[in-house]
Structure 1
């Protein structure tokens, strides 16, 4: 079972949709979690068909921001357990790994609202006995070296997020791909 997790920053532009199609073609994931889609359900459903996925669950964007999407292929059963503007909680059953719980997460981007994100992470931690994998964009970090440029991350936010991860029984598994989702002109000299 393979995942693609992408903070797409909007699916309104054709080049963004083309990029999504290309990366799905290259990586061939079974599940795709998208955050900050800025799109409605109709738009997402058309993208789902275009990338040949059978299942689609959408949390529509509010006003001019947000939006979450989970796309899946028919392989393995996906059962949605809950959702909000910040997460899609689901269970997956497949031959290779059995039944697992996953949560696609998008944390509050505003610093003053980080405690809301932390509480959202803590609430579902005890709800299931299944192995749990939490994926997405937390808009938070546990170490200062995870940030480049701009203001330093306040120590209280670093410690608060570390404490939340620990309290929830989570471990950081790392990632593959671009370290920073906001990179401008990635792959060029600028």
Structure 2
């Protein structure tokens, strides 16, 4: 089973939708989680879901949580959460409380497709205002509580880097 998580901006833009169609065509995910903070029109999301060929969709402010049925005795059920951390750092404790509630709900294996809006180390950030060690420690403590760890990545460290470099040239 393939899942696509995209923290996209501008999903109501035709070019972005076309890029999404290509990703879906090429990778054939069973689950697509779009994290878009600028579109609030639920009818638009329903229409997009239908156009992309997906039967079910849910929308919530910060997360979508489901149990994925293993569909046969040889494949176990598991817990999937699409999660977007609160954008305001003073409210992130609410995000961690939400994760705690979801984590305590069952003991199934758990995968989170996420954008926490937080970092565990200052090495994960370039430019802008620096974050306090206390804030990053709160996040590290939350991850430890839930038994979560970063599975790593194969892309560049900062996905926006090529865009920034192109603007600078």
Compute the TM-score of the two structures, normalised by the length of structure 2: 0.85
For residues 44-90 of structure 1, the C-alpha deviation after alignment (integer angstroms, 9 at most, x for no partner) is 1222222222222223xxxxxxxxxxxxxxxxxxxxxxxxx211110
* Paired position in structure 2 for 1:93: 69
Structure with the bigger percentage of strand: 1
Say yes or no: does 1:125 pair with 2:103: yes
* Paired position in structure 2 for 1:50: 51
* Paired position in structure 2 for 1:162: 140
Cα–Cα, structure 1 residues 39 and 18, in superposed 2: closer, same or farther, change >3 Å? Answer: farther
* Paired position in structure 2 for 1:7: 7
Structure with the bigger percentage of helix: 2
Where do 5+ consecutive residues of structure 1 fail to align? 60-84
Question: Residue 11 of structure 1 contacts residue 39 of structure 1 at CA under 8 Å; is this kept in 2?
Answer: no
Give the structure with higher Rg (CA): 2
- Supply the distance in 2 between the matched residues of 1:187 and 1:92 (Cα, whole angstroms): 40
Question: Residue 7 of structure 1 contacts residue 181 of structure 1 at CA under 8 Å; is this kept in 2?
Answer: no
Where do 5+ consecutive residues of structure 2 fail to align? none
Q: Where does structure 1 differ by over 3 angstroms across 4 or more consecutive aligned residues?
A: 94-97, 175-184, 186-190
Compute the TM-score of the two structures, normalised by the length of structure 1: 0.77
